[in-house]
Amino acid sequence: MSEFQAPIGTHDVIGPQSYEWEGLIGTFAEFAHRFGFSLVISPMFEDIGVFNRGIGENSDVAKKEMYVFTDRGERTYALRPEGTASVVRAFVQHNPTTPWKAWYATPAFRYERPQAGRYRQHHQVGVEVLGSDDPAVDVEVITLAWRFYEAIGLKRIRLLINSMGHDECRGAYVELLKAHLKSNVASLCDEHQKVWELNPLRVLDCKKTPCIEVTSKGPMLPDYVCADCSAHFAKVVAGLTSLGITPELNPRLVRGFDYYTRTTFEFVADSLDGAQNAIGGGGRYDKLAEELGGKPTSGIGFGSGIERLLLTREAEGISSALVDRSVDVFVIDTTEDDLATSLCDELRRHGLSVERAFDGRSMKSQMKLADKSGARFALLIGPQEQAAGQVTIRDLRSADHEQAQSQVSRDSVTTAIFNLITK
Ligand code: HAM
């Protein structure tokens, strides 16, 4: 084992797995573009206040999972545990015209107990829209995610949805929930017996049987959201349904961050293990911009875990590549004059993917590399070809290599390769 390894809970992504990443992010970028979003890149760390105020200092992520550090100027920063708070901080700082539609692909850092599908550095693709509370925006954001999942081949996924109401109606509900929890404290799970009061909504989200039993006998959020929030939610559900995207109502879906208001949603993959089956999630956060010092501005977005999306493709047995990263041509040069350099340059300038060997390897060794590269064609140039001003083209996918080769003049190589590729 080498002396240094990637830190616990993190992983390196190298080829060929990284092709899947490229394909996935590229497909997401394409969908974001179709839906009118532009890329936002913001710092990987922020003043800790952005997250404490944004996601809530009593959220599990802020309390237990953030990577916090003090820099040499004595400023306290945190690595971003998620994408939304930073994007909204950027919105408040730059005050762009609304609706502002931004997408991102970013690492996120959470000190979690690592396991399959749960990492200390994971990666998300996501979007945020600021400046509209129209339910049509909720529908558009959820549709983007759904169409993207379809495009990467996912079939066994479900959309769970809920409304968290706004400050006032949720506030009244939380009081009722508190009263219910107070009279049932002894029956909650060990952790929530201690901390239920700090953030009672978290108990609804708890996956442990004692908490599920207590909360299922208590008041449920959808029964208490006000008429306005209910009407908003009904429009979201109707809009999605009209597009053939059928949400499942889940009154327990309160999500882990304090910024959520009204619509909340999660996408789950039935092919993944229950504890890590959320492949994406999001919702409205109509107070977040204000929390971060901006004007009152509605917002909504979602984030989706790249690792989990790829695990889901694997679990569903989807083998089609997300992007074509195959090699077109491998140049084998056994002359002493490094003719490969100009040949590669010419073919690459015409848009082909071209590989070659270095270090004056033998013909046999270069041939092995060519086979390993998966290239469709090998171009051979040795002393004989050099003398005749020719190049040998060999089709590496043909069973009989000797049969599947032809010679062309050096000047017509590119045309000949294109003719063969398009044949
Ligand atoms: P989140 O549900 O915490 O929401 O994360 C979004 C997605 O990131 C999850 O559904 C999951 O696929 C993936 N994910 C989260 N934690 C991990 C982990 N430790 N390891 C692997 N994958 C993980 C947010 O982060 C919100 N910012 C989403 C949002 C955007 N809400 C509004 N706008």
Q: What is the pLDDT of residues 364-389, one digit of tens each?
A: 999 999 999 999 999 999 999 999 99
127: pLDDT strictly greater than 70: yes
pLDDT at 402: 67
Q: Whose CA is nearest to atom 6 of ligand 1?
A: 303
- 283 in the Ramachandran plot: left (φ > 0), alpha (ψ -120 to 50) or beta? left
Ligand 1 geometric centre to CA of 308 (Å): 10
Average pLDDT over the chain reads 96
CB of 283 shorter than 6 A to ligand 1? yes
CB of 119 shorter than 6 A to ligand 1? yes
State the DSSP H helix or E strand holding residue 69, giving kind and residue range, or none if neither: strand 68-70
CB of 287 shorter than 6 A to ligand 1? no
pLDDT at 199: 85
Average pLDDT over residues 259-267: 97
CB of 282 shorter than 6 A to ligand 1? yes
CB of 205 shorter than 6 A to ligand 1? no
Q: Whose CA is nearest to atom 17 of ligand 1?
A: 118
Which residue segments constitute the domains of the chain, with CATH numbers given?
17-164+244-315 (3.30.930.10), 167-225 (no CATH), 329-421 (3.40.50.800)
d(CA 399, CA 273): 43
For the chain, what is the total number of helices (H) and then of strands (E)? Answer: 16, 16
Ligand 1 geometric centre to CA of 210 (Å): 26
From the alpha carbon of 84, which atom of ligand 1 is closest?
27
State the DSSP H helix or E strand holding residue 249, giving kind and residue range, or none if neither: strand 247-249
CA–centroid distance for 178 within its chain = 36
Q: Which residues contact 260 (CB under 8 A, 6 or more apart)?
A: 164, 254, 283, 284, 285
pLDDT at 330: 98
275: pLDDT strictly greater than 90: no
Q: Whose CA is nearest to atom 18 of ligand 1?
A: 118
CA–centroid distance for 169 within its chain = 33
Q: Is the peptide bond before 16 cis (omega within 30 degrees of 0)?
A: yes
80: pLDDT strictly greater than 80: yes
Sign of the C-alpha dihedral computed for residues 255, 260, 265 and 266 taken in this order: negative
d(CA 70, CA 7): 20
% of the chain exceeding 90 in pLDDT: 93
pLDDT at 401: 66
pLDDT confidence bin for 281, thresholds 50/70/90: very high
Mutation choice for ligand 1 from 115, 123, 124, 148, CB with most ligand atoms inside 8 A: 124
CB of 54 shorter than 6 A to ligand 1? no
Dmax of the chain from CA atoms? 94
pLDDT confidence bin for 1, thresholds 50/70/90: confident
Average pLDDT over residues 85-96: 98
